[in-house]
Amino acid sequence: MLNVQLQNELSPVNTGNDAVSPKALVVIPVYNHVQSLRKVVEGLLDGGYPVLVVDDGSTDGCLDAISDLPVESHRLPVNIGKGGAILAGAALARSAGYQAIITIDADGQHDPGEAGKLLEAAAADWPSIVIGARNMATLNVPRSSIFGRDFSNFWVRLECGQSLPDTQSGYRLYPVELLCGVRFASRRYTFEIEALVKGSWSGLPILSVPVSVYYPPGDSRISHFHKFRDNLRLSCLHTWLVTRSLLPWPHRRLFKKEAARLPSIIHPVLFFKALSREHSSAGELAAAVWVGVFIGAMPIIPFGIAAIIYATHKLHLNKMAGVAASNVCCAPFVPFLCIELGHYLIYGRFWYDFNRQTLVNEIHFRLWEWLLGALIIGPLLGAAMGLITYFLVRSFRSWKNGLTAATEE
pLDDT of residue 140: 66
Q: CA 52, CA 367: separation in Å to the nearest integer?
A: 61
pLDDT of residue 49: 95
Report the length, in residues, of the chain: 409
Q: CA 292, CA 325: separation in Å to the nearest integer?
A: 5
Beta strands in 206-287 (DSSP E): 206-211
Rounded to 5 degrees, what are φ and ψ at 341? -65, -45
CB atoms within 10 A of CB 19: 16
- The β-bridge relationship of strands 172-175 and 129-134 is antiparallel
Top-level class of domain 4-246: alpha beta
Beta strands in 85-178 (DSSP E): 100-103, 129-134, 172-175
pLDDT tens digits along 199-215: 999 999 999 999 998 87
**% of residues, the chain, pLDDT over 70:** 86
pLDDT of residue 391: 92
pLDDT tens digits along 175-198: 999 999 999 999 988 999 999 999
Q: Is the pLDDT of residue 342 over 90?
A: yes
pLDDT of residue 197: 94
pLDDT tens digits along 86-142: 999 999 999 999 999 999 999 888 999 999 999 999 999 999 999 999 988 776 677
Verify cis geometry, omega within 30 degrees of 0, for the bond prior to 263: no
Q: Is the pLDDT of residue 343 over 60?
A: yes
Every domain range in the chain assigned CATH 3.90.550.10: 4-246
Q: What is the mean pLDDT of residues 71-90?
A: 95
Q: What is the mean pLDDT of residues 296-301?
A: 90
Q: CA 40, CA 37: separation in Å to the nearest integer?
A: 5
Verify cis geometry, omega within 30 degrees of 0, for the bond prior to 12: no
Which of 140, 114, 281, 278 has the alpha carbon at shortest distance from 208? 114
Q: Which helix (H) or strand (E) holds 313?
A: helix 304-314
Q: What is the mean pLDDT of residues 243-249?
A: 83
Which of 215, 209, 213, 196 has the alpha carbon at shortest distance from 133? 209
Give pTM, 2 decimals: 0.71
pLDDT tens digits along 9-60: 444 444 444 467 899 999 999 999 998 999 999 999 999 999 999 999 999 8
